[in-house]
Amino acid sequence: MDLPVLSSAQMRAAEEAAFARGVQVEALMDDAGAGVAQTVMKFFPRPGKCIVFAGKGNNAGDALVAADRLRCLGWKIEVRLAFKEDDCSELMRKKLGVLQTSTPRVPDWTDEPGHDIGVTILELFAYAADELSFVQEKIAAETYLGTAAPLIILDGLLGVGARPPLREPIRAACRSINQLRRKKGAYVFAVDLPTGLDSDSGKIDRHCVLADFTVTIGFAKSGLVTDGALNYVGRLEVVTLRDLRPPDKMADDVRRRIASRRRSGGGFCSRGNLRDCRQRRTDGSDGEAYPVLSRPA
């Protein structure tokens, strides 16, 4: 599949061109979040629990919109804020408010009267590192003890503009995501890119989020398809946005490398073999890479 692969500068240019045509930032965010939710449902059609790790910018807003869509489909949502709400962008705070006031649908599969699918907010910045680890594990264990419903994480901490190295409190949040993935079997969906990965060079912070899926927005980013990044990216899905148009010049060399890998037998992590794929990628240092670009169905 011949999809554009953009640098961060090209992505910003595509967004600025859309804004110049009158497209609103919130409209792009709503479409992006809907696409992320659609991708989650593609692989996990049965509702479970979704934990959103939220930063303070548009990347967090995308994740919160996705969580709101999932909540309306019966998912239980927990939001873990890396920053105080007052430090977050106005649009991010708006999407958090929408999520807290939206009307959920009680899933057909539950037989529990009064099944609670409300929104839980956990303020990560309010805890010391060791205390935070205990609190998060306790919540995850209590919520999912003895159940078969999926547990997923949306990594909405940092977006394309961020560069390694990671700093607190984001670094601690990334460690928490990887710990929940390793110890609680959570499936991680990185929104746009795994936090701790440079979107241009593919450079990795030592605490980079290890994603099972990366749901990149608009177009794939060049750093996502570098050799060193692939084990952190997992399966790469592209949410196309109708209001974003690719720039005239695209990274043809990167696209050719993707095509070459696919011709040489590069695999991908399908729903059926997802667990086996995860076992080969437990620490990001081994296993097959999955350089697949595909649109959500």
Q: What is the pLDDT of residues 26-71, one digit of tens each?
A: 999 999 999 999 999 999 999 999 999 999 999 999 999 999 999 9
Instruction: Give the pLDDT of residue 246.
Output: 82
The order of strands in the sheet holding 235-239 is 119-123, 76-81, 49-54, 151-156, 187-191, 213-217, 235-239, 293-294
Residue 293 has pLDDT above 80, yes or no: no
What is the number of residues in the chain? 297
Calculate the CA 210 to chain-centre distance. Answer: 11
pLDDT, mean over the chain: 80
Helix or strand run (H / E) with residue 19: helix 8-20
Cα Rg, the chain, nearest whole Å: 18
| Model pTM above 0.75 | yes
What mean pLDDT do residues 77-94 have? 94
Percentage of the chain modeled with pLDDT above 70: 69
Q: What DSSP letter does each residue of 109-133 carry, written as one string?
A: T---TT----EEEEEGGGS-HHHHH
Instruction: Give the pLDDT of residue 161.
Output: 84
Q: For residue 201, what are its two tokens?
A: 């060079």
The CA distances from residue 122 to 85, 132, 135, in Å, are 12, 10, 10
Instruction: Give the pLDDT of residue 247.
Output: 75
**CA-based max dimension of the chain:** 57
Give the integer Cα–Cα distance in Å for 92 and 90.
5
Give the integer Cα–Cα distance in Å for 116 and 146.
17
Q: For residue 89, what are its two tokens?
A: 């962008």
Quick check: bond before 247 cis, omega within 30? no
Give the integer Cα–Cα distance in Å for 238 and 217.
6
The CA distances from residue 278 to 16, 130, 234, in Å, are 37, 27, 9
Residue 208 has pLDDT above 80, yes or no: yes
148-194: pLDDT as tens digits = 689 999 999 999 988 999 999 999 999 999 999 999 999 999 999 99
What mean pLDDT do residues 129-139 have? 53
- Expressed as residue numbers, the domain containing 257 is 5-105+114-294
Helix or strand run (H / E) with residue 17: helix 8-20
More confident residue, 139 or 220: 220
Helix (H, G, I), strand (E, B) or coil at 156: strand
Give me the number of domains the chain comprises.
1
Dihedral sign of CA atoms 139, 143, 148, 151 in order: negative
Environment class of residue 135 by beta-carbon count within 10 Å: exposed (0-12), middle (13-18) or buried (19+)? middle
- Percent of the chain as helix, strand, coil, to the nearest 5: 40, 15, 45
Give the integer Cα–Cα distance in Å for 29 and 217.
10
Label residue 1 by pLDDT band (50, 70, 90). very low
Pairing type for strands 213-217 and 187-191 reads parallel
Instruction: Give the pLDDT of residue 266.
Output: 43
What mean pLDDT do residues 92-107 have? 79
CATH of the domain at 80: 3.40.50.10260
231-258: pLDDT as tens digits = 999 999 999 999 998 876 444 544 454 4
Instruction: Give the pLDDT of residue 172.
Output: 93
Number of Cβ atoms within 10 Å of the Cβ of 289 = 19
Number of Cβ atoms within 10 Å of the Cβ of 259 = 15
Helix or strand run (H / E) with residue 216: strand 213-217
